[in-house]
Protein backbone atom coordinates (compact mmCIF):
# COMPACT_ATOMS: atom_id res chain seq x y z
CA UNK A 1 0.00 0.00 0.00
CA UNK A 2 3.02 2.27 0.38
CA UNK A 3 3.36 2.43 -3.42
CA UNK A 4 -0.31 3.39 -3.79
CA UNK A 5 0.07 6.08 -1.13
CA UNK A 6 3.15 7.53 -2.83
CA UNK A 7 1.48 7.61 -6.23
CA UNK A 8 -1.61 9.23 -4.74
CA UNK A 9 0.47 11.85 -2.95
CA UNK A 10 2.46 12.66 -6.08
CA UNK A 11 -0.64 12.94 -8.28
CA UNK A 12 -3.03 14.56 -5.79
CA UNK A 13 -2.60 18.24 -6.63
CA UNK A 14 -2.21 17.70 -10.37
CA UNK A 15 -5.55 15.86 -10.44
CA UNK A 16 -7.18 18.44 -8.14
CA UNK A 17 -6.18 21.10 -10.66
CA UNK A 18 -8.26 19.55 -13.44
CA UNK A 19 -11.54 21.31 -14.32
CA UNK A 20 -14.60 19.80 -12.62
CA UNK A 21 -12.49 17.85 -10.07
CA UNK A 22 -13.43 18.48 -6.42
CA UNK A 23 -11.58 15.65 -4.70
CA UNK A 24 -9.03 12.85 -4.90
CA UNK A 25 -8.74 9.81 -2.65
CA UNK A 26 -8.17 6.08 -2.42
CA UNK A 27 -10.95 3.56 -2.96
CA UNK A 28 -12.05 0.45 -4.83
CA UNK A 29 -12.49 0.41 -8.58
CA UNK A 30 -16.10 0.06 -9.68
CA UNK A 31 -17.18 -1.42 -13.00
CA UNK A 32 -20.70 -0.78 -14.30
CA UNK A 33 -21.59 0.52 -10.85
CA UNK A 34 -20.41 -2.64 -9.07
CA UNK A 35 -17.56 -2.22 -6.59
CA UNK A 36 -14.61 -4.55 -7.15
CA UNK A 37 -11.62 -5.45 -4.97
CA UNK A 38 -8.95 -3.53 -6.88
CA UNK A 39 -7.72 -0.42 -5.11
CA UNK A 40 -7.50 2.70 -7.22
CA UNK A 41 -7.21 6.46 -7.14
CA UNK A 42 -10.75 7.83 -6.83
CA UNK A 43 -11.24 11.16 -8.60
CA UNK A 44 -14.32 13.04 -7.41
CA UNK A 45 -16.01 15.33 -9.94
CA UNK A 46 -19.02 17.63 -9.76
CA UNK A 47 -20.51 16.04 -12.86
CA UNK A 48 -19.36 13.37 -15.30
CA UNK A 49 -18.81 14.46 -18.90
CA UNK A 50 -17.68 12.45 -21.94
CA UNK A 51 -13.98 12.80 -22.70
CA UNK A 52 -14.80 14.37 -26.04
CA UNK A 53 -16.54 17.24 -24.24
CA UNK A 54 -13.70 17.92 -21.80
CA UNK A 55 -10.76 17.55 -24.18
CA UNK A 56 -7.50 15.71 -23.62
CA UNK A 57 -5.96 18.21 -21.20
CA UNK A 58 -8.98 18.19 -18.88
CA UNK A 59 -9.70 14.45 -18.92
CA UNK A 60 -8.78 12.28 -15.93
CA UNK A 61 -6.16 9.73 -17.05
CA UNK A 62 -7.18 6.06 -16.95
CA UNK A 63 -4.18 5.32 -14.73
CA UNK A 64 -1.36 7.09 -12.92
CA UNK A 65 2.01 5.29 -12.88
CA UNK A 66 0.25 1.95 -13.27
CA UNK A 67 -2.41 2.67 -10.65
CA UNK A 68 -5.95 2.70 -12.12
CA UNK A 69 -8.29 5.65 -11.56
CA UNK A 70 -12.03 5.74 -11.09
CA UNK A 71 -14.09 8.88 -11.73
CA UNK A 72 -16.98 9.31 -9.27
CA UNK A 73 -19.68 11.98 -9.60
CA UNK A 74 -20.35 13.61 -6.21
CA UNK A 75 -21.97 16.95 -7.05
CA UNK A 76 -21.04 20.11 -5.15
CA UNK A 77 -19.75 19.38 -1.66
CA UNK A 78 -20.81 21.84 1.06
CA UNK A 79 -20.68 22.16 4.84
CA UNK A 80 -23.75 20.45 6.32
CA UNK A 81 -25.16 22.86 8.86
CA UNK A 82 -28.77 23.91 8.34
CA UNK A 83 -28.21 27.14 6.46
CA UNK A 84 -25.27 29.35 7.51
CA UNK A 85 -24.12 31.55 4.64
CA UNK A 86 -26.71 30.04 2.28
CA UNK A 87 -25.74 26.41 2.95
CA UNK A 88 -29.28 25.18 3.50
CA UNK A 89 -31.03 21.94 2.60
CA UNK A 90 -31.75 23.17 -0.91
CA UNK A 91 -28.05 23.74 -1.46
CA UNK A 92 -27.25 20.14 -0.58
CA UNK A 93 -29.81 18.88 -3.06
CA UNK A 94 -31.78 17.05 -0.41
CA UNK A 95 -34.87 17.86 1.61
CA UNK A 96 -34.88 18.47 5.35
CA UNK A 97 -37.63 17.46 7.76
CA UNK A 98 -40.95 19.29 7.59
CA UNK A 99 -41.56 19.32 11.35
CA UNK A 100 -39.39 19.45 14.43
CA UNK A 101 -38.25 16.15 15.93
CA UNK A 102 -37.17 15.27 19.47
CA UNK A 103 -33.56 15.79 18.37
CA UNK A 104 -34.36 19.39 17.45
CA UNK A 105 -35.93 20.28 20.80
CA UNK A 106 -34.42 21.43 24.08
CA UNK A 107 -32.91 18.43 25.86
CA UNK A 108 -31.53 18.35 29.42
CA UNK A 109 -29.34 16.54 29.90
CA UNK A 110 -28.42 17.01 26.25
CA UNK A 111 -27.06 14.01 24.39
CA UNK A 112 -24.93 13.62 21.25
CA UNK A 113 -27.12 13.45 18.17
CA UNK A 114 -29.21 16.46 19.23
CA UNK A 115 -29.38 19.98 17.75
CA UNK A 116 -26.76 22.47 18.94
CA UNK A 117 -24.95 25.55 17.65
CA UNK A 118 -23.08 28.81 18.16
CA UNK A 119 -25.66 31.51 18.87
CA UNK A 120 -25.04 33.05 15.43
CA UNK A 121 -25.26 29.72 13.55
CA UNK A 122 -28.49 27.99 12.48
CA UNK A 123 -27.94 24.46 13.83
CA UNK A 124 -25.72 21.41 13.66
CA UNK A 125 -25.28 18.25 15.70
CA UNK A 126 -23.77 17.69 19.14
CA UNK A 127 -21.19 15.06 18.25
CA UNK A 128 -19.83 13.61 21.47
CA UNK A 129 -19.04 14.25 25.10
CA UNK A 130 -15.25 14.21 25.46
CA UNK A 131 -12.79 14.97 28.24
CA UNK A 132 -9.99 17.53 28.21
CA UNK A 133 -6.64 15.74 28.32
CA UNK A 134 -5.19 18.36 30.66
CA UNK A 135 -8.03 19.39 33.00
CA UNK A 136 -10.15 16.21 32.64
CA UNK A 137 -13.34 18.34 32.48
CA UNK A 138 -16.20 17.18 30.22
CA UNK A 139 -16.60 19.10 26.94
CA UNK A 140 -18.93 19.06 23.94
CA UNK A 141 -17.38 18.14 20.57
CA UNK A 142 -18.75 19.28 17.22
CA UNK A 143 -17.54 21.11 14.10
CA UNK A 144 -15.97 24.57 13.96
CA UNK A 145 -18.72 25.68 11.58
CA UNK A 146 -21.33 24.51 14.11
CA UNK A 147 -19.83 25.77 17.41
CA UNK A 148 -17.52 28.55 16.13
CA UNK A 149 -19.32 29.98 13.07
CA UNK A 150 -16.69 28.71 10.59
CA UNK A 151 -14.11 31.10 11.96
CA UNK A 152 -10.49 31.42 10.91
CA UNK A 153 -9.75 32.96 14.29
CA UNK A 154 -9.00 36.33 12.69
CA UNK A 155 -12.29 37.27 11.05
CA UNK A 156 -14.40 38.24 14.06
CA UNK A 157 -16.96 35.52 13.36
CA UNK A 158 -16.54 33.91 16.77
CA UNK A 159 -14.41 34.09 19.90
CA UNK A 160 -13.76 31.93 22.94
CA UNK A 161 -16.55 32.44 25.47
CA UNK A 162 -19.33 32.93 22.90
CA UNK A 163 -22.69 31.39 23.89
CA UNK A 164 -23.60 27.91 22.64
CA UNK A 165 -27.29 27.06 22.53
CA UNK A 166 -29.12 23.73 22.56
CA UNK A 167 -31.19 23.44 20.47
CA UNK A 168 -29.56 25.51 17.75
CA UNK A 169 -31.08 28.81 16.66
CA UNK A 170 -32.77 27.23 13.61
CA UNK A 171 -34.67 25.01 16.04
CA UNK A 172 -35.80 27.88 18.24
CA UNK A 173 -32.85 28.00 20.64
CA UNK A 174 -32.10 31.36 22.27
CA UNK A 175 -29.26 32.52 24.51
CA UNK A 176 -31.67 33.71 27.20
CA UNK A 177 -33.51 30.40 27.50
CA UNK A 178 -31.34 27.67 25.98
CA UNK A 179 -27.65 28.45 26.50
CA UNK A 180 -25.93 25.19 27.42
CA UNK A 181 -22.31 26.30 27.32
CA UNK A 182 -19.63 28.57 25.90
CA UNK A 183 -17.13 28.17 23.09
CA UNK A 184 -14.01 26.68 24.68
CA UNK A 185 -11.61 26.36 21.72
CA UNK A 186 -11.56 25.59 18.01
CA UNK A 187 -9.32 24.66 15.11
CA UNK A 188 -9.32 27.59 12.64
CA UNK A 189 -10.69 26.94 9.14
CA UNK A 190 -8.47 28.33 6.39
CA UNK A 191 -10.41 29.41 3.33
CA UNK A 192 -9.45 29.95 -0.30
CA UNK A 193 -10.96 32.63 -2.52
CA UNK A 194 -12.71 35.86 -1.54
CA UNK A 195 -13.08 35.69 2.23
CA UNK A 196 -14.74 38.48 4.26
CA UNK A 197 -12.08 40.73 5.75
CA UNK A 198 -11.33 40.96 9.47
CA UNK A 199 -13.09 43.47 11.75
CA UNK A 200 -10.34 46.11 11.50
CA UNK A 201 -10.38 45.91 7.71
CA UNK A 202 -14.17 46.31 7.62
CA UNK A 203 -13.91 49.46 9.74
CA UNK A 204 -11.24 50.86 7.41
CA UNK A 205 -13.46 49.96 4.44
CA UNK A 206 -16.39 51.97 5.87
CA UNK A 207 -14.18 54.98 6.65
CA UNK A 208 -12.67 54.98 3.17
CA UNK A 209 -16.06 54.61 1.46
CA UNK A 210 -17.52 57.44 3.55
CA UNK A 211 -14.64 59.65 2.40
CA UNK A 212 -15.23 58.65 -1.25
CA UNK A 213 -18.94 59.47 -0.88
CA UNK A 214 -18.17 62.92 0.60
CA UNK A 215 -15.74 63.74 -2.20
CA UNK A 216 -18.28 62.62 -4.81
CA UNK A 217 -16.05 59.90 -6.22
CA UNK A 218 -18.05 57.16 -8.03
CA UNK A 219 -15.75 54.35 -6.84
CA UNK A 220 -16.33 52.10 -3.84
CA UNK A 221 -13.86 49.88 -1.98
CA UNK A 222 -14.39 46.30 -0.82
CA UNK A 223 -11.72 44.76 1.37
CA UNK A 224 -11.44 40.98 1.31
CA UNK A 225 -8.83 38.52 2.44
CA UNK A 226 -7.57 36.22 -0.30
CA UNK A 227 -6.02 33.01 0.94
CA UNK A 228 -3.77 30.83 -1.18
CA UNK A 229 -5.34 27.64 -2.56
CA UNK A 230 -2.73 25.50 -0.78
CA UNK A 231 -4.07 26.52 2.64
CA UNK A 232 -5.09 22.98 3.58
CA UNK A 233 -7.19 21.93 6.58
CA UNK A 234 -7.24 18.58 8.32
CA UNK A 235 -10.19 18.96 10.69
CA UNK A 236 -13.31 21.10 11.14
CA UNK A 237 -13.59 20.86 14.92
CA UNK A 238 -14.45 22.88 18.02
CA UNK A 239 -15.27 22.36 21.69
CA UNK A 240 -17.87 23.89 24.00
CA UNK A 241 -17.64 23.91 27.80
CA UNK A 242 -21.02 23.23 29.43
CA UNK A 243 -22.19 25.76 31.99
CA UNK A 244 -23.13 22.81 34.21
CA UNK A 245 -21.49 19.37 33.70
CA UNK A 246 -24.74 17.64 34.64
CA UNK A 247 -26.49 19.28 31.65
CA UNK A 248 -24.84 16.79 29.25
CA UNK A 249 -24.43 13.03 29.12
CA UNK A 250 -22.28 10.93 26.75
CA UNK A 251 -24.66 8.33 25.32
CA UNK A 252 -25.31 9.04 21.61
CA UNK A 253 -29.02 9.06 20.79
CA UNK A 254 -30.15 5.63 19.52
CA UNK A 255 -26.55 4.33 19.41
CA UNK A 256 -25.06 4.39 22.91
CA UNK A 257 -21.68 5.31 24.39
CA UNK A 258 -18.45 5.45 22.42
CA UNK A 259 -15.92 2.70 23.16
CA UNK A 260 -12.71 4.25 21.84
CA UNK A 261 -11.56 5.17 18.35
CA UNK A 262 -10.73 3.24 15.17
CA UNK A 263 -8.91 4.04 11.95
CA UNK A 264 -11.07 4.11 8.78
CA UNK A 265 -10.85 1.20 6.34
CA UNK A 266 -12.28 0.83 2.85
CA UNK A 267 -15.58 -1.06 2.93
CA UNK A 268 -15.97 -0.61 6.72
CA UNK A 269 -19.67 -0.65 7.76
CA UNK A 270 -20.45 2.56 9.65
CA UNK A 271 -23.33 4.47 11.26
CA UNK A 272 -24.03 7.96 12.56
CA UNK A 273 -26.67 9.70 14.65
CA UNK A 274 -27.49 13.25 13.54
CA UNK A 275 -29.85 16.14 14.27
CA UNK A 276 -31.64 15.95 10.90
CA UNK A 277 -31.62 12.38 9.58
CA UNK A 278 -31.22 10.45 12.84
CA UNK A 279 -29.41 7.12 12.60
CA UNK A 280 -28.19 6.20 9.12
CA UNK A 281 -25.86 3.45 7.93
CA UNK A 282 -23.41 3.01 5.08
CA UNK A 283 -19.84 2.03 4.31
CA UNK A 284 -16.57 3.84 3.73
CA UNK A 285 -15.95 4.31 0.01
CA UNK A 286 -12.82 6.48 0.04
CA UNK A 287 -9.99 7.25 2.48
CA UNK A 288 -6.97 9.56 2.41
CA UNK A 289 -9.27 11.93 0.52
CA UNK A 290 -8.52 15.54 -0.36
CA UNK A 291 -11.67 17.52 -1.08
CA UNK A 292 -12.69 21.09 -1.87
CA UNK A 293 -15.72 22.17 0.20
CA UNK A 294 -17.83 25.17 -0.81
CA UNK A 295 -18.42 27.65 2.01
CA UNK A 296 -20.31 30.31 0.06
CA UNK A 297 -20.10 31.80 -3.43
CA UNK A 298 -16.55 31.36 -4.68
CA UNK A 299 -15.10 30.76 -1.21
CA UNK A 300 -13.95 27.21 -0.52
CA UNK A 301 -11.96 25.27 2.07
CA UNK A 302 -9.66 22.41 1.13
CA UNK A 303 -9.45 19.42 3.49
CA UNK A 304 -6.88 16.62 3.33
CA UNK A 305 -6.89 13.07 4.81
CA UNK A 306 -10.68 12.79 4.90
CA UNK A 307 -13.15 9.88 4.85
CA UNK A 308 -16.04 9.51 2.39
CA UNK A 309 -19.19 7.39 2.42
CA UNK A 310 -22.31 7.33 0.32
CA UNK A 311 -25.20 9.61 1.32
CA UNK A 312 -25.70 9.38 5.08
CA UNK A 313 -26.57 12.95 6.02
CA UNK A 314 -28.37 16.20 5.27
CA UNK A 315 -28.10 19.84 6.33
CA UNK A 316 -27.88 20.00 10.12
CA UNK A 317 -26.03 16.69 10.57
CA UNK A 318 -22.59 18.33 10.74
CA UNK A 319 -20.89 17.32 13.98
CA UNK A 320 -22.26 13.76 14.02
CA UNK A 321 -19.77 11.07 14.99
CA UNK A 322 -19.23 8.21 12.55
CA UNK A 323 -18.91 4.86 14.37
CA UNK A 324 -17.99 1.31 13.39
CA UNK A 325 -19.87 -1.86 14.38
CA UNK A 326 -18.13 -1.88 17.78
CA UNK A 327 -19.14 1.71 18.65
CA UNK A 328 -15.64 3.02 18.09
CA UNK A 329 -15.46 6.58 16.77
CA UNK A 330 -14.09 6.70 13.22
CA UNK A 331 -14.89 10.19 11.95
CA UNK A 332 -16.57 13.56 12.49
CA UNK A 333 -19.17 14.44 9.86
CA UNK A 334 -18.75 17.92 8.39
CA UNK A 335 -19.68 18.09 4.69
CA UNK A 336 -21.48 16.37 1.85
CA UNK A 337 -23.73 16.53 -1.16
CA UNK A 338 -26.75 14.67 -2.49
CA UNK A 339 -24.37 11.85 -3.49
CA UNK A 340 -21.76 11.62 -0.72
CA UNK A 341 -20.87 12.48 2.88
CA UNK A 342 -17.45 13.57 4.20
CA UNK A 343 -15.81 13.15 7.62
CA UNK A 344 -12.61 14.15 9.41
CA UNK A 345 -10.64 11.26 10.89
CA UNK A 346 -11.59 11.04 14.56
CA UNK A 347 -8.03 10.39 15.71
CA UNK A 348 -6.96 13.61 13.97
CA UNK A 349 -9.83 15.51 15.59
CA UNK A 350 -9.00 14.28 19.11
CA UNK A 351 -5.34 15.24 18.72
CA UNK A 352 -6.16 18.64 17.21
CA UNK A 353 -8.42 19.74 20.06
CA UNK A 354 -6.63 17.87 22.86
CA UNK A 355 -9.36 15.59 24.18
CA UNK A 356 -9.96 11.94 24.98
CA UNK A 357 -12.96 9.61 25.12
CA UNK A 358 -11.69 8.07 28.37
CA UNK A 359 -13.63 9.20 31.43
CA UNK A 360 -11.56 10.51 34.35
C-alpha–C-alpha distance, residues 275 and 265, integer Å: 25
Please give the backbone phi and psi of residue 41, each rounded to the nearest 5 degrees, phi first: -90, 120
Interval 266-298: pLDDT, tens: 999 999 999 999 999 999 999 999 999 998 878
Residue 161 sits in the same domain as residue 215: no
Domain boundary among the residues 208, 225, 242 is at 225
CATH number for 96: 2.40.10.120
Domain boundary among the residues 42, 73, 104 is at 73
C-alpha–C-alpha distance, residues 329 and 357, integer Å: 9
Look at residue 299 and tell me if it is in a domain.
Answer: no
C-alpha–C-alpha distance, residues 336 and 264, integer Å: 18
Quick one: pLDDT at residue 3? Answer: 82
Residue 265 sits in the same domain as residue 127: yes
Residue 326 sits in the same domain as residue 217: no
Give the chain's domain count. 3
* CA dist list (Å): 37 to 29, 34, 67, 214: 7, 10, 14, 69
Q: What percent of the chain has pLDDT over 90?
A: 72
Residue 243 sits in the same domain as residue 175: yes
Residue 109 sits in the same domain as residue 242: yes
Residue 101 sits in the same domain as residue 61: no
CB-count exposure of residue 156 (10 Å: 0-12, 13-18, 19+): middle
pLDDT in tens, the chain (360 residues): 458 888 999 999 999 999 889 999 999 998 767 778 899 999 999 998 766 555 666 789 999 999 999 999 999 999 998 763 333 343 333 444 457 899 999 999 999 999 999 999 999 999 999 999 999 999 999 999 999 999 999 999 999 999 999 999 999 999 999 999 999 999 999 998 654 444 455 556 666 667 657 776 666 655 444 434 568 999 999 999 999 999 999 999 999 999 999 999 999 999 999 999 999 999 999 999 999 999 887 889 999 999 999 999 999 999 999 999 999 999 999 999 999 999 999 999 999 999 999 998
Residue 184 sits in the same domain as residue 261: yes
Residue 16 sits in the same domain as residue 149: no
Residue 51 sits in the same domain as residue 156: no
Look at residue 322 and tell me if it is in a domain.
Answer: yes
Residue 256 sits in the same domain as residue 331: yes
| Structural domain harbouring 144 | 83-191+229-285+308-356
Look at residue 293 and tell me if it is in a domain.
Answer: no
Quick one: pLDDT at residue 4? Answer: 85
Residue 154 sits in the same domain as residue 42: no
Amino acid sequence: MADMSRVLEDARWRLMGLPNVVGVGRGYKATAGVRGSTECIVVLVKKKFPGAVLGTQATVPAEVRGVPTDVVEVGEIRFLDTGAEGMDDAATGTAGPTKRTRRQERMRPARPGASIGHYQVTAGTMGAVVWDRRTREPLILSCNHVLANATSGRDGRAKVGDPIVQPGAADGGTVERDQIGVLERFVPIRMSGRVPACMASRVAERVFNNWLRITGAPARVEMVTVYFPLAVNTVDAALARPLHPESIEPGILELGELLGTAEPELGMPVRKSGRTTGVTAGEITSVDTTVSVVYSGNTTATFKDQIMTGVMADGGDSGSVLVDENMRAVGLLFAGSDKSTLYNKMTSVMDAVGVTLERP
